[in-house]
Each structure stands twice: as C-alpha cells, then as structure tokens.
Structure 1
Amino acid sequence: MQTVRKWMDQTIAFSTCTLMGIMVLVSIWQVFTRYVLNAPSTFSEEFLRYSLIWVSMLGSAYVFGQKKHFAIEFILEKLSKKKALILNILIEVVILGFAIIVMVIGGSKTVLTTMAQSSAGLGIPMGYVYLSLPVSGILIIGYSLLSLIEVKNKPEVDLVNDDLEMSYQKLKSKILE
C-alpha cells in the first residue's frame, strides 16, 4: 500500500510543480507583453486562471493524501481508542461517498455538459477545465481507500496527521498557561 501511496504522491507532486513552473513562466510573459511590449498577451490570463483551478484541485487531493487537511481532533481525544477508530472509519466513508457522488459523478456530468462550450481566449472545450473535479475526486477516493485498507490491516494506524496533533497540543498548552 505504501508503494501505491508513494507513487500517487510523486505523480501529483510532479504534476502540480510542473504546472506551477509553467504558470510562473506564463505570468512573466504576461507582464513582459503588457508593460514592455505594450500589447497584452491574449491567452495568458485565461491559461493562468484555468491552471490555478487544476493546481488547486490536484493540490487538495495531495493534501488529503498527506492527512494535512483541516481536521477537528479534539473530539477524537475525548474518545476511547476503539470509538476513535470507528469515528475515523466513519469519516473516511463519508469522504469516500462525497468524493464519489459530488466530485466524480457530478463532476463527470459537468464535464460532459460543458464539452461543447469553448473558452474565449484559448478556444479549448470548457470540459477540460471541469475535468479537474472528477480527476481530483478519483485521487481522493484512492487515498481514502488506502487509508481504510491500512486501518483494516493495522488498526492502530493513525488517520490524522501527527504534525497537526503536535501543533494542536502546543497551542493548547500555550492557551492554558
């Protein structure tokens, strides 16, 4: 399972970093054409907007896979290990359902609906922009399934990020001082 997770992490990280690098170059081109050539680039603003959507969606899937997303952990601290494990599994199942229904199914319907529409500046089908939703949903489903398999194989595994837990404990101790 760790091999699959590592492969997904590396693929998403490479894709988002590459896209961010391209976005920086296009931003520089946009500034150059606007202020030096006094003839703004016609494609750059739209490209950057759509690229930001893709980077955000892929980044959210990556963050979910790293367990660095926002989590309310103070409830888990109050529960016994068994109840906390059950709650974690329930949360993973709810996230799995959301990703399937909203992101993959709903996103796919949106992609199919918007494939006939073209963007003004780039002339690409708008469905390609909205494709980021089901792709991100599939990645989140993959991470969620990996987490559930890890819990099944090793029930003492933590489904929350340890860095987040340490930060929470430090904040809690400072407040109580």
Structure 2
Amino acid sequence: MNRLLHGLAHLNRTLERLLHVILLALVFGFTLLIIYQVISRNLPFMPPLYWTEEFSRFAFQWMVMLGAAVGVLHADHFVLEAFPRGSRADLATRVIRDLACLAIGVIFVGYGQEFAVSGLRRNATASGLSMVFVYSAFAVSGLFMILFSLQRLLHSALHGLDEMEKALNTPNDIESLDVEESDHSPIDTLDNNPTSTQRDRH
C-alpha cells in the first residue's frame, strides 16, 4: 500500500505541475483577451474581435474547474470548523470532507461525460468552436479530483489524518499562531522573565 501511495503521489505531483502551467497560461491569455476588449471598445482604429469575449469566458470556466481540482489536493477550499480541533466530531468531519470531494469528482466524471458529448452538437456563436472543448471541463476536473482525493484518503489510512494534512495541506498561519500561543502561556512567560520575578519580590 505504501508503494501504491508513493506512485499515486508521484503521479499527482506531475499532474499538479502540469495544471499550474496550464492555469498560468489560462490566466495570461484571459488577461490579454480582456485588455484587448477594453482597448478595442475605446479606440476606433482597433477592430472589435467578438470571439475574444467567448474565449475569455471559456478560459475563465477552465480556470475555475482546474483550480477547484488543485484546491482539493491541498484542502484550499473554504472550511468552517464547527468542532474543537482534535475531537471525534472534528476528525469525522475532516474525513467526510475528503470523501465528499471524492464523491463530487465521481459525479463530475459520470455526468460530465454526457455533458461533454452534448457539446459535439453545439458550436460557439462567434468563433464556431465546438462546445465539447468547453463542456469537457467538468469531466476533466472530476478526474483530477478523484486522483487527489484518493491520495489524501490513502495517506490518511496509512499514516493518520494529522500526518496527511501536515504533508498535503497548505500551511495555515492562523493555526500555527494558535499553536504558538498555546505553547507560551502567560505563566510560562512570567517564569521565563527573571526581571519581573525579582521586581515582584522587592
């Protein structure tokens, strides 16, 4: 099982690097298209390219779906902690979170395939691009979500939930601050300050 986890982690690292490159290209292309739209509307000598509006919208849709998949790997989605950290209820909800992401990925792949196929019968108005290239974003994102969720769940099963989150989750400055504050209580601070102790004796 450790070998399986190692192979899955290696695959996901490669896929994550690929997604970062794709997302960077999408952001760059999206920004250029939006800038051109704004400039062409204000400068009469620049011809309006109507397909740029479609492509900017398509790029944004792919950014959202691929970014959501990367967020699953590192638990970057919004989380509302309702239970004390480390309690049974907290541990259960953290496991359910990863299971829910896995279920969403399966749903995206299952229904996303049908949605993508329906795009074969439709074309974008201005560019004429087949909508299958846009509708397939759900299925592709779902596939990445499945792979990333499986890594998190397998890592939790083999090494524990805390070790998995320490290895995969994006560091949370607030949580680390809470830990530091709990480690240094006011009593410890008083004991470590000999000046204040001597002053109290006098």
TM over 0.5: yes
CA–CA separation in structure 1 for the residues paired with 2:134 and 2:23: 15
Shift of 1:79: 1.4
TM-score (norm 2): 0.72
Q: 2:151 aligns with which of 135, 146, 150?
A: 146
Matches within 5 A, 1:74-89: 74-75=82-83, 77=85, 79-80=87-88, 84-89=90-95
TM-score (norm 1): 0.81
CA–CA separation in structure 2 for the residues paired with 1:38 and 1:5: 44
Distance 1:99 1:87, change over 3 A: same
Long gaps (5+) in structure 2: 1-5, 183-202
Paired positions, count: 168
2:83 aligns to what SS in structure 1?
Answer: helix
Q: 2:140 aligns with which of 126, 135, 142?
A: 135
Q: Which structure has the bigger radius of gyration?
A: 2
**Superimposed CA distance per residue, residues 137-172 of structure 1 (whole angstroms, 9 cap, x where no aligned partner):** 1111111001011112211424455417628959xx
Shift of 1:3: 2.5
The 8 Å contact of residues 68 and 164 in structure 1, kept in 2 or not, is answered as no
The 8 Å contact of residues 34 and 41 in structure 1, kept in 2 or not, is answered as no
Long gaps (5+) in structure 1: none
Distance 1:86 1:125, change over 3 A: same
**Superimposed CA distance per residue, residues 28-79 of structure 1 (whole angstroms, 9 cap, x where no aligned partner):** 3323333222532121111101110001111111122121111223326261
Q: 2:99 aligns with which of 93, 116, 137?
A: 93
Higher relative contact order (CA 8 A, sep 6+): 1
